[in-house]
Structure 1
Amino acid sequence: MEPGQYDEQDFDNASDLVKLRQRYFRRPKTPANIISQMMARQGYGQTKSNDELNEAWEIASGPRFAKNTKAGRINRGVLEVHVSSSAAMNMLSFEKKKLLSAMQQQLPQNNIKDLRFKLGNVAR
């Protein structure tokens, strides 16, 4: 082969080498993605959902139980409710089915399947 002449094999080898050295850069993030990530990191979305959960619990429990209880978190479909005293917890256990159905009607998107009452701090 004369200098300056290349065959098909040389072009294939060269293109393989170029592909190996090629770098792929990430695209810049959009402002919407950055803002949503920051809000998730700071917990603003969770705060909003906790406020909705507490409001729904106050409506479902009524004034009788609302002052002695506070809705906690939902874990695997079980809403944790903090109760100020064991006497109030006992009274809530009698009303559990009614409270559960009221919460399911108010927050169907949360898929609440059960309530768990727990002694805890109810300070708001």
Structure 2
Amino acid sequence: MSDKPRVQRISTLVSQLMSRRGYAQMIAGEDFHATIGMAVGGQLGSAITVGKLKRGVLQIYAADSVSLQELNFQKRSILKQIQKDLPQSKVTDVRFRILTK
């Protein structure tokens, strides 16, 4: 048994740090928000908050019920835009909910 310190690659350490601190999730959230904003337009885009991506389903929170209804009407175009702009995210569906405070 030697007392040598275990050497790790810097890329492994950075990856671990990003996952522990949630930085990757924040960056991905900003990318999703920008893509959805392009798909729905500026006014509706400012009324949403992007939630978690879990098993291919992206949660999107609307500020009010009117925005929620409009998002539901545009669901197909939003999903296509996300799949086109962010194919590495592997989003298969989007779900909309009202943001509760």
TM-score, reference length from structure 2: 0.80
* Structure (1 or 2) with the larger CA radius of gyration: 1
Q: Which aligned pairs between 1:1-124 and structure 2 lie closer than 5 A? A: 23=1, 28-30=6-8, 32=10, 33-120=12-99
Q: 5+ residue gaps in structure 1? A: 1-22
Q: Distance in 1 between matches of 2:73 and 2:29?
A: 25
1:28–1:85: structure 2 CA closer, same or farther, 3 Å change rule?
Answer: same
TM-score, reference length from structure 1: 0.67
1:78–1:36: structure 2 CA closer, same or farther, 3 Å change rule?
Answer: closer
Contact kept? 1:57, 1:71, Cα under 8 Å: no
Per-residue deviation at 1:35?
3.6
Q: Percent identity?
A: 26
Per-residue deviation at 1:81?
0.6
For these two proteins, the number of residue pairs brought into alignment is 100
- Cα RMSD between the aligned structures? 2.4
Q: 5+ residue gaps in structure 2? A: none
Per-residue deviation at 1:111?
1.3
SS state at 2:7 partner: coil
